[in-house]
Chain A
Amino acid sequence: MAPEPMLSIATSLQPLRIEGLVKRFGKLTAVNGISLELNRGECLGLLGPNGAGKSTLIRGIVGRVIPDAGKVSVFGDSADSVGARMALGWVPQDLALYPRLTCRENLEAFGQYHGLRRAALKTAVAWCLDWSALADRADDTVKNLSGGMKRRLNMAAGLIHRPKVILMDEPTAGVDPQSRNRIFEMIEKLRGEGMSIIYTTHYMEEAERLCDRVAIIDHGCIIALGTKDELVHAAFASRSEVLARFENVDEVVIAWVNQRGGLFDNGTARFTIEHATEIGGLLDAAAKSGHELADVSLRKPNLESVFLHWTGRELRD
């Protein structure tokens, strides 16, 4: 029997595997022993507030920071190998583009840096322009593009060499809702093609929409990992969340909320209940204690609830 081609062997390995990654900047530990695996065709969300260590983790994967400990492998190859570099695509958080070059020239430049030449380069540039819906602006200089277009080009530049694994570091940062939707469509198209994606964001709704699994990161550690349902179930089981807003918030109210097992955050008290009927008891108890409620709502816990549950604070703090 003929041996399997090398490519097949390589592609049969895990697209990305991170083992015990640690990165310190002086006294600050930005990434604290993170281990993670990305499956083929999966979109894994890294959800966490600013400064949680998401970008450092991404930079560690693409070899832009030297880890103090741990190992990153891409299809079994060390992350700093040429093979890994070709397999990885990186969309940095900053607009890493040449502002005085056109869209096409930018893509050509980054394509050439990845070793693409002639027909392959031309094809890749055409694909990227089409994918990012910038074909009609191909010959405009970057500085003349709108913010959303720059973001799309920034993403396209990370995919010019058609990588198998793509790392997107907050690709929607600073764009308007319309552009954000367009970017979602672009990412969903990649998912449809079976690309493995790591997607960092601090927008819960993005993670919920795009990601198969979500890793919640805080202070350089993964505090929860799984599908949205798994995470919610792990934190809340079958319980629901009651959000209560008080007319007057003072120390007495906060103490009362804590006493009832709730969390007070950003002017809103959050309680979990097993059955909807428990809301009545909660309202009675508030009335008896003399606390006037302005608004009460019941909802199913989401990723933000999970984050709050594990960290005691909101995602966008």
Chain B
Amino acid sequence: MIFSIVHTALTALRRDRGALALSFILPIAFFTIFAVIFGGRRDSTPKISVIVVDEDHSRVSQKLINSLGAESLSVNTRPAPKRGVQQSDYTAVTAEAAVKAGTAPVALIIPRGFGENPVSFGGQQGFSLQLLKDSSDMVAPQIITGLLQKVAMTAMPDVMAEQGSKYMDEYAGGLTPEQRKRIADNLQELRRRENRENGGAESEHGLNGGMPISVTARDVVGENKNNPMVSFYAAAIGVMFLLFTASSAGGSLLDEAESGTLDRVLSSRVTMGTLLAGKLCYCSLLAFSQLALMFVWAWLVFKLDFIPHLAGFVIMGLSTAFAVGAFGMLLASTCRTRAQLGPLSTLVILIMSSVGGSMFPRFLMPEAMQKAGLLTINAWAIDGFTKVFWRDEPLSHLWPQVAVLLGVGVVLFVIARRLARRWEYS
């Protein structure tokens, strides 16, 4: 008896291709995506990009920069060449602008005089490095700060030893001449060893660096935001649900086809093109309303700065809604029945959302995944909303996102129109 029940259920499942796909393909797809994001091989781990501004130009600052470069960081002291022309080094001002623009999540400013007195040991004597950060990325600043301490300890042992003895001399009642001589001899040996290892010449500057290194972090993006991640999640979650909404709304076309209403509509003066355009408008309007509601909710409850960014929201909201609406049309015209639409849309939307950053920020993903995310509507929409609400960028900076979303919308709609020809006549 139980065998019969199991057999019947398995047979039904085997014939329901959508359910079968959801049961087996979706878990594997999701496992693969998240395994790539979180459990990828070491060489695929993303290198955190950091902008370094060396105002000190000392041996210590140069050594610090070189040491950071040897770590799993992408250290940039100047912008990438434009049309083959080398750009000048970052300054504190251009570095801050670059962080605001999202070029890198962190900029490190090494102030003038740092090399003369880099040690803090928790006190006020040392110069403090400045870390300009984007507060939406909570990981990168922590990693940079930790790596700074690490390179100070491992890559500059002579500096640490000298500064340590200096503080010992100052705060422990003074060293005897014999102790000072021994420390100086050992420091000389450390320097010789380091030079041998590096193959370099001894610096002409005096070594008065120290550690641990004091770091002062400052948010340059989102510093005035009440809740730094709200705008990100409003966009990320919003776009994912928009896709579901559009898919469901597009499904009304299938309902009409199944009930025969579509036949009746097409026997009137309404053409298939007009009908699809109308459905696209409906899907887009619904998606925009949903997005608006979500951002208004975020404004009222989570104090999102909505009103000052209203124009940007409208531009991005309409572009996103159009692309999402066309996506819904394409899904509906691809499927033959509602039963097909459900599993297919779930599969596609969840994959798009995970790769496109709706579930997990793209900037924390491996580089290959970040690039793959650009194939999704989610990524472009989230990038655009981030520019508006997070980076406070001018509206003119939204053109790449708007162009891509509108372009994608047009292409998807044209394909949907093509596929919908099967409904026109039989």
Chain A interface residues toward B at CB < 8 A: 25, 59, 62-66, 82, 85-86, 88, 90, 92-99, 110, 113-115, 157-158, 161
Contacts and interface: CB of A to CB of B under 8 A. Distances in A.
Nearest to B262: A96
Contact of A97 (B261, B267, B268): B261
Nearest to A94: B260
B259 to A, nearest CB: 6
A90 B260 CA distance: 12
Contacts of A97: 259, 261
26 contacts: A25-B426, A59-B263, A63-B267, A63-B425, A64-B267, A65-B425, A65-B426, A66-B425, A66-B426, A85-B267, A88-B267, A92-B263, A92-B264, A93-B260, A96-B259, A96-B263, A97-B261, A98-B261, A99-B259, A110-B264, A110-B268, A113-B270, A114-B268, A114-B269, A158-B264, A161-B268
A64 B266 contact: yes
| Residue of A66, A92, A93, A99 with highest tally of chain B CB at under 10 A | A92
Interface of B: 259-261, 263-270, 425-426
A115 B265 CA distance: 12
Contacts of A85: 267-269
Given A88-B267, A98-B261, 15 more contacts: A64-B266, A64-B425, A64-B426, A65-B425, A66-B425, A66-B426, A85-B267, A86-B269, A92-B264, A93-B260, A94-B259, A94-B260, A97-B261, A113-B265, A115-B269
Given A64-B425, A65-B425, A92 B260 contact: yes
Given A82-B269, A86-B269, A114-B269, A64 B261 contact: no
Contacts of A62: 267
A284 to B, nearest CB: 56
A64 B265 CA distance: 11
Contacts, number: 53
Nearest to A23: B426
B269 A90 contact: no
**Do most interface residues of chain A lie in helix, strand or loop, or is the interface mixed?**
loop
A90 B267 contact: yes
Nearest to A98: B261
A96 B269 contact: no
Contacts of B425: 63-66
Nearest to B265: A113
A64 B263 contact: yes
A96 B264 contact: yes
A113 B268 contact: yes
